[in-house]
Amino acid sequence: MAKTKFIELHALAPEKPAYGTSCNGCGVCCAAELCPVARVYLLQLKGVCRALLWQEETRRYVCGMVVFPDHYLSLMPLRWRESTGRFFASRIAAGTGCDCMISVEIS
């Protein structure tokens, strides 16, 4: 039997893409399950990832650890933002396509 979990996302968030297709910033993956970056670097063990950021101008979710890691890691110099963001992007396989196999029902 499939386990049901309710997550709340922005009303304008795009629909979850099919597994393996390009990521569209729907936010389902980060709202439903924590990635290793959230567990190790944010010390978060449950709930919606606190680094899941809604971007109004693009109407999509992004990973805060990729775009603004200095907001989450205390004492990190601003000049390290880009390289640290690339590091975290590689850890979550950003840009490789949707790897979330969760089926979504909108209510």
State how far the Cα of 85 lies from the Cα of 95, in Å rounded to an integer.
13
In a domain, 5, yes or no: no
Q: Does 18 reside within a domain?
A: no
The number of folded domains in the chain is 1
Residue 95 has pLDDT above 90, yes or no: no
Using CA atoms, how far apart are residues 37 and 43, in angstroms rounded to an integer?
Answer: 9
Q: What is the pLDDT of residues 3-55, one digit of tens each?
A: 778 889 999 999 999 999 999 999 999 999 999 999 999 999 999 999 999 99
Residue 47 falls within a domain, yes or no? yes
Measure the CA–CA gap between 47 and 7, rounded to whole angstroms: 9
Residue 3 domain-assigned?
Answer: no
Residue 12 belongs to a domain: no
Note down the domain range covering 76: 28-91
Q: Where residue 56 falls among pLDDT bands split at 50, 70, 90?
A: very high
| Exposure b/e, 28-64, CB count within 10 A at least 16 = b | bbbbbebbebbeebbebeeebbebbbeeeeeebbbbb
pLDDT for 61 beyond 90? yes
Asked whether residue 1 carries a pLDDT value surpassing 60, the answer given is no
Residue 62 lies in a domain: yes
Q: Are 84 and 69 in contact (CB under 8 A)?
A: yes
Q: What is the pLDDT of residue 41?
A: 96
